[in-house]
Structure 1
Amino acid sequence: MDLHQKEIQGFFNIPVDNLRASPFLLQYIQEEDDIIDDVDSFVAAAETLKERGAYKIFVMATHGILSSDAPRLIEESAIDEVVVTNTIPHELQKLQCSKIKTVDISMILSEAIRRIHNGESMSYLFRNIGGR
């Protein structure tokens, strides 16, 4: 499960496959919460993580609302990066906080719109569009 180096597979005299936990972790995150608005809980959690020895702290969400004092609180916190998609414009917040980063998802959104408009199957998006 989640081998740190793929070369580890060569040290076994039986078949070994590297299974990934990431799909299950991502599903859990998506089902729990995918919006960042008020960041107080993230800032508090980051402080605790830093006190306990965390080297880097990343916060990720699909929708970065980041209202009111969120950019300032993030900038002053132990959080290293907040990564959000561009489903919501947040250019002003990025000007206020250098730790906010954006992942562009326009490709998948435009492809979904095109497929719906042309009456094509959406299943392609689930099989063939990935982050890498």
Structure 2
Amino acid sequence: MPDIKIFSGSSQKNLSQKITERLGLEGAKVVRKKFSHQETCVEMGESVRGENVYPLKHLPAKPMDQGSILQVPRKADRCTRWRVHLASLCSGYIVTVDLHAAQIQGFLAIPVDSLCAVLTWTCTVDSPDTCGAKRVTSFAHHLNVDFALIHKERKRSNEVGHVGLVGDVKDLVAILVDNVADPCGTICQAANKLLSAGSTSVYTVLTHGIFPGLAIARISSACLEAVAGPNTMPQEDKMNHCSKIQLIAISMILAEAIRRTQKGEYYSCLFSHVPL
């Protein structure tokens, strides 16, 4: 397809390559530099005049890394702001995968489409917290199975106290569904709760595996059979340290969203079907 440039962040090169290959394109050239004070400089390696530009980036811990690749299509000089509002960087709209809450779309001044990674995950289905109730019910409906809910009480941020279970999981394979796995304390405690309640085995599927600090050690020692999710974030290094982590390609959904956007086609079908 002509008139398209896809720019990739430094950590999304593999996903970007799969998307461009599916679309029959070559990724746009990007030159990245880091200064001694860790400010990031991103420059375009080719002209984008008159092109439709698609920056591809996951949301990192440092907003500067996110802002630099998103600002590239709109300005050629260095990005000097440390805090960047996502909507102010985009002139069209945002396509994302599994927002933490659908209400976030209403806080942005431009249209946002949140695609669903659950369709790429091919029992009882369980949510590790009540915030994921809508997500897990959608997943259970898609698979035509029952669901249960885990409710938790936090002692403080990122530290879970009591974990409870609502629903019957006896003699069933349990699948924990979540959008973000950060310290993974909730997932591991939820897995223990499900096994103690009679589940035969526990798997976890999630959208964004961050896995900082002790997360990998917790997953490795937890009673989880596997932790699977799409390649919205690079996981090769984490997979080398934990055999339980498995990746599922989501490039076909993102590539089809780009193609349909470029062609002016609707893509509501992407919310219920995976393109082949």
TM-score (norm 2): 0.35
For residues 58 and 122 of structure 1, the distance between their equivalents in structure 2, rounded to whole angstroms, comes to: 30
> Which string of whole-angstrom CA distances, capped at 9 and with x for unpartnered residues, describes residues 40-59 of structure 1?
11111212222333221111
* Conserved 8 A contact 1:71-1:94: no
Runs of 5+ consecutive residues of structure 2 not aligned to the other structure: 1-122, 124-138, 150-176
Residue 33 of structure 1 deviates from its aligned partner by 4.9
Residue 126 of structure 1 deviates from its aligned partner by 3.2
For residues 193 and 254 of structure 2, the distance between their equivalents in structure 1, rounded to whole angstroms, comes to: 36
Instruction: Show the counterpart of 1:109.
Output: 254
Residue 37 of structure 1 deviates from its aligned partner by 1.2
Secondary structure of 2:201's counterpart equals coil
Instruction: Show the counterpart of 2:190.
Output: 45
Instruction: Show the counterpart of 1:122.
Output: 267
Instruction: Show the counterpart of 1:34.
Output: 179
Instruction: Show the counterpart of 1:55.
Output: 200
For residues 178 and 252 of structure 2, the distance between their equivalents in structure 1, rounded to whole angstroms, comes to: 23
Letter of the structure 2 residue corresponding to residue 37 of structure 1: D
For residues 110 and 101 of structure 1, the distance between their equivalents in structure 2, rounded to whole angstroms, comes to: 21
Residue 90 of structure 1 deviates from its aligned partner by 1.3
For residues 52 and 127 of structure 1, the distance between their equivalents in structure 2, rounded to whole angstroms, comes to: 32
Instruction: Show the counterpart of 1:96.
Output: 241
Q: Which has the higher contact order (CA 8 A, sep 6+)?
A: 1
TM-score (norm 1): 0.68
Q: How many residues align?
A: 109
Higher helix proportion (structure 1 or 2): 1
Instruction: Show the counterpart of 1:84.
Output: 229
Runs of 5+ consecutive residues of structure 1 not aligned to the other structure: 5-19
Bigger-Rg structure (1/2): 2
Runs of 4+ in 1 over 6 A off after TM superposition: none
For residues 51 and 69 of structure 1, the distance between their equivalents in structure 2, rounded to whole angstroms, comes to: 24
Identity over aligned residues, as a percent? 34
Residue 123 of structure 1 deviates from its aligned partner by 2.5
Q: Aligned pair 1:74/2:193, yes or no?
A: no
Secondary structure of 1:83's counterpart equals strand
For residues 52 and 125 of structure 1, the distance between their equivalents in structure 2, rounded to whole angstroms, comes to: 36
> Which string of whole-angstrom CA distances, capped at 9 and with x for unpartnered residues, describes residues 8-45 of structure 1?
xxxxxxxxxxxx9523989x9xxx95111110111112
Q: CA RMSD in A?
A: 3.0
Higher strand proportion (structure 1 or 2): 2
For residues 49 and 33 of structure 1, the distance between their equivalents in structure 2, rounded to whole angstroms, comes to: 15
For residues 97 and 82 of structure 1, the distance between their equivalents in structure 2, rounded to whole angstroms, comes to: 10
* Conserved 8 A contact 2:184-2:215: yes
Letter of the structure 2 residue corresponding to residue 92 of structure 1: D
